[in-house]
Structures are given as C-alpha cells and as structure tokens.
Amino acid sequence: MTDVTADKTKRNVPVLAGQSIVSQVAWTLGSPSVVLPFLAVSFELPMFVAGALVSVRMVGSMISDFFLAQPIAAKSQKKRAIALTEAIIGSCLVLAMVAAATGVVPLIAVVFVAVFFVIGLVDEVQNLMFTDLLGDHVHSRSRMVLHYLQLGGGGLCAIGLAMLVHQITKENPPFSRHSTMIGVSVAFFMLSGLLMLAMTENARSAEPANKIGPKAKLSFKANAQGIIGMFEYSWFRRYMVMRMLLVAVSLSVPFFALIAAEAHHSSAKGLTAMIVSSASGYLVSGPLWQVVNMKSHRAVMVVGTLMVAATGGVLLAFHYMGIDHDVHLHAIALFVVTVAVTGISSARKLYFLDVAPKEQRVQGSAAIKSFTRLLAVLLSAALAAVAHMHEVALAVAFIVAASLMACVTCYLTMSPDREDSPRPQN
C-alpha cells in the first residue's frame, strides 16, 4: 500500500509542476494586482474605482476564509473543484473584456467590481484547497521545489509570451492589444484546469470531518473571542505589530501599477512592460530569496522593505520633477517591488512557522488573516480615495513611509538567524 502511494506521489509531482507553471503564466498575464488595474485606468474608470478594486478582492477573500474554510476541509477530493476555479477565473476575465468592449464606463465599473469580488472569493477557495491537496499528496521537499519552479518557470514563460503577443499586436488599437493579452491568459487558465484533472488523487475518509462537524459550527461571537484571545500571547503580539505594517508594503504592487497606468495607459508598450517586469520579478525572486532565506528571515524582511521604500522614493522624486515619462522607469520600479514583496511574503510565512507554538498555530493563523485582511480592505480603500481626490503619488508616499517603519520593526523584533532553537512561550 505504501509503495502504491509513493508511486502516485512520483507521478503527481511532474503533473503538478506543469500545472503550477501554466497557472503562474495565466495569473501573470491576467494579474489582478497589475494588469487589471492598468486596464481599469486605460478604460477611463475613476481612479477611486481602480484603486478600490484591491479592497473588493480582499472582501471576497475574507468571505471565503470565514465561511468556506470548514466545508473545503471536509471535502474528500479537491482536484475537480480546483480545475473549476481556474475555469471560473478565466470566465471572469472574459466577462470583463466583454463589458469593456461596450465602452460604457458605468457598466465597465460595475462588471470590474463584480469580477474582482468573484476572483477574490474563488482565488482564496483555490488557495485553501491547494494547501490541503499538496499537504496530502506531495512531500515537503517536493513542495519547496514546486514553489520555486512555479515562480521561475512561470515567470520565464510569461515574459516570452508577453513579448510575442506584443510583437504580433503592436500595430493594433489599444483594446485589441489588451484583449489579446487577456485572451492568452484565459487560455492558460483553462489549460491549467485540464492539467489539474490529470493528477491522481487519493480519496480521504470523510469520517474525521463528520466527527468534528457539530463542534466546528462556532458562532460569530465564539470566533471573535478566539481571535481576540490570541493577544494574550507575547509571540502573537510581536508578530502582529510587524504584520500590520507589512500590509501597507504588500499594497506597493497594485499602487505602483496604478501610478504607471496613470502615466502610460495610452502607450503601446505600457501593458507589456508591466507584465514583463512583474514576470521578471517572479523569475528573479525564487533563487535570490531562497539563498537569503536559508540564512536569515530577518535579512529578507529588512532588505525587502528597504527595496520598496527606496524604489518608491526614487519614483516620487522623478514624478515631482516631471521626468517620469519613460515607461522603463515604472517597469523597473514594478520589477523591484515585485521581487521585494515576493521575498517578504515567503519570509513572513516561514517566520510564522518558526515562532508560532504548534498548539496555537492554526488559531494564530486565522487571527492574523482576519486582522490583516480587514486592515488591507480599509487601507486600500483609503489610499484609493486619496489617489482619486489628489493623486496616486500621495498613496505611494504613504507606502514608502510605512515600508521604512516596517523595516525598523522587523530589524528590532526578529532574530538575526533562523529559529532552530525552541519556540518562545507566552
């Protein structure tokens, strides 16, 4: 029986490797953080709507975490559901482009908001299912290899495809160029779903889920009390201070994309440059941060937050001097923050596993997600309002200041070396 399971695992790894690369290409070419906000500005949506799309997506993700986590955990097989989520996301992109083809700005705004909400909802459902699926079917070392292969292989393929589509469509009108890029993304979402169906999934017994079913149906009050109760632990309080500041840092990618869209949405090279720069960021971040992370999580966090602050500072200086008209400047800025945010995201997750005691890990993770997603919704909406009433540069300035504060906090609260010693107690 063990040999059969091992054989299935070996067969699944190349299938999942191919699927993860194809999915990464799809997400890069149709990125909700880079491509869709860029398109929102190019379709002349109000800047508040374009910036608030980040908040709308976060609300969808929060709903999935709060209401759908238990049903997903109870589901014995997940590959078909994951394939379906890829198809739904692709369909959302098609719907967005159909609405854009009408040229009716109010309709485009409504459809974009609906699409972002559904993408946030479905993306988080997919993340929850993938976490469970990989935990059941792929060994730890293989999971790490798949992660960095996805970033590197997916980024490289996305660069090649973006350049190819740009060369083919560079003489076409803007809508034709944009819709072609989104069409390629949709095709890869569908292909990713088909590849997902090719893996061999072991059926799990539903008995454990049934046993805990009555206990798992907690009230909203009980959930809230459990989350608030985590603040009794010193490790959690220290981690939350750092994590809250990192929420602003994570918003650098969509708001750097917005300031680029504001300057270059009519350029024939604008969208392609943004896609290539973000894909290059994924390509570089894998091997770069893997090496640094092996030595110190703190080094990744400090360097990453400094990279965001420095890049934003240079971008603001060029903006206020009126010399930020070159699309390559914004492409380089987006590349740097993509590398930085990808490294920070990986390091903070690994650091959490280092500091969180085993018996508090699940509840702590749920509490952190609840607070940070709520903050991300409120903060992104506030920054979108600032961008709408004034200019995107002011939102970028806030992110620069928050990045500097996060850098200092990470340096003071984190250990300089990886935590291999016993975890701290409350």
Question: Does one domain contain both 248 and 106?
Answer: no
Question: Does one domain contain both 206 and 244?
Answer: no
pLDDT at 230 over 90: no
The number of residues in the chain equals 426
Question: Does one domain contain both 193 and 251?
Answer: no
What does the alpha-carbon distance between residue 166 and residue 172 come to, in Å, rounded to a whole number? Answer: 10
What does the alpha-carbon distance between residue 153 and residue 62 come to, in Å, rounded to a whole number? Answer: 30
Angle formed at CA 152 by CA 150 and CA 157, multiple of 5 degrees: 90
Helices (H), 321-360: 327-355
Q: Which of 192, 344, 332 is nearest to 276 (CA)?
A: 332
What DSSP line would sit under 94-119, residue for residue?
HHHHHHHHH--HHHHHHHHHHHHHHH
pLDDT value at residue 207: 44
255-299 pLDDT per residue, tens: 888 888 777 655 657 778 888 888 888 888 877 887 787 778 889
Token pair listed for 184: 């390629």
pLDDT value at residue 419: 53
Question: Does one domain contain both 205 and 319?
Answer: no
Tell me 360's DSSP state: G
Question: Does one domain contain both 289 and 205?
Answer: no
Question: Does one domain contain both 144 and 226?
Answer: no
Query: Across residues 386-409, what is the average pLDDT?
Result: 91
Query: Comparing 76 with 285, which gets the higher pLDDT?
Result: 285
Q: Give the C-alpha distances (Å, rounded to integers) separating 16 from 11, 39, 49, 202, 242.
A: 9, 31, 36, 15, 33
What does the alpha-carbon distance between residue 80 and residue 399 come to, in Å, rounded to a whole number? Answer: 39
pLDDT value at residue 48: 82
Question: Does one domain contain both 121 and 262?
Answer: no
Query: Across residues 24-51, what is the average pLDDT?
Result: 84
Kindly report which listed range (61-70, 84-93, 341-350) carries the lowest average pLDDT score.
61-70
Question: Does one domain contain both 223 and 200?
Answer: no
Give the global pTM: 0.78
What does the alpha-carbon distance between residue 89 and residue 30 come to, in Å, rounded to a whole number? Answer: 10
Question: Does one domain contain both 259 and 193?
Answer: no
What does the alpha-carbon distance between residue 150 and residue 161 come to, in Å, rounded to a whole number? Answer: 16
Token pair listed for 279: 């894909």
What does the alpha-carbon distance between residue 91 and residue 175 come to, in Å, rounded to a whole number? Answer: 18
pLDDT at 218 over 60: no
pLDDT value at residue 222: 64
| Number of separate domains in the chain | 2
CATH number at residue 208: 1.20.1250.20
Tell me 203's DSSP state: P
pLDDT value at residue 113: 93
Question: Does one domain contain both 230 and 212?
Answer: no
Domain boundary, last residue among 196, 217, 238: 217
pLDDT value at residue 257: 83
Q: Which domain holds residue 320?
A: 218-426
Contact 158, 23 (CB under 8 A): no
Domain boundary, last residue among 217, 236, 255: 217
| Neighbour tally for 136: CB within 10 Å | 12
Burial class (CB in 10 A: 0-12, 13-18, 19+), 309: buried
Q: Which of 252, 271, 262 is nearest to 311 (CA)?
A: 252
Give the model's confidence band at 61: pLDDT under 50 very low, under 70 low, under 90 confident, else very high.
confident
Give the model's confidence band at 8: pLDDT under 50 very low, under 70 low, under 90 confident, else very high.
low
Spatial neighbors of 268 by CB under 8 A, at least 6 apart, are: 170, 174, 177
Contact 22, 191 (CB under 8 A): yes
What does the alpha-carbon distance between residue 252 and residue 392 come to, in Å, rounded to a whole number? Answer: 11
Question: Does one domain contain both 139 and 183?
Answer: yes
| Torsion sign over Cα 56, 57, 60, 66 | negative
Domain boundary, last residue among 190, 217, 244: 217
What does the alpha-carbon distance between residue 95 and residue 90 come to, in Å, rounded to a whole number? Answer: 9
Contact 415, 313 (CB under 8 A): no
Contact 274, 334 (CB under 8 A): yes
* Percentage of residues of the chain with pLDDT beyond 70: 86
Kindly report which listed range (1-5, 183-187, 296-300, 344-348) carries the lowest average pLDDT score.
1-5
Q: Give the C-alpha distances (Å, rounded to integers) separating 71 from 106, 125, 208, 213.
A: 36, 10, 13, 10
Question: Does one domain contain both 191 and 225?
Answer: no
328-365 pLDDT per residue, tens: 788 899 899 999 998 898 888 878 877 888 777 767 77
Query: Across residues 154-170, what is the average pLDDT?
Result: 90
Kindly report which listed range (41-45, 213-217, 342-346) carries the lowest average pLDDT score.
213-217
**Long-range contact set of residues 139-147: C-beta below 8 Å, sequence gap at least 24:** 139/9, 142/9, 142/13, 145/17, 146/13, 146/16, 146/17, 146/20, 147/286
What Rg value do the Cα atoms of the chain yield, rounded?
21
Query: Across residues 222-229, what is the average pLDDT?
Result: 70
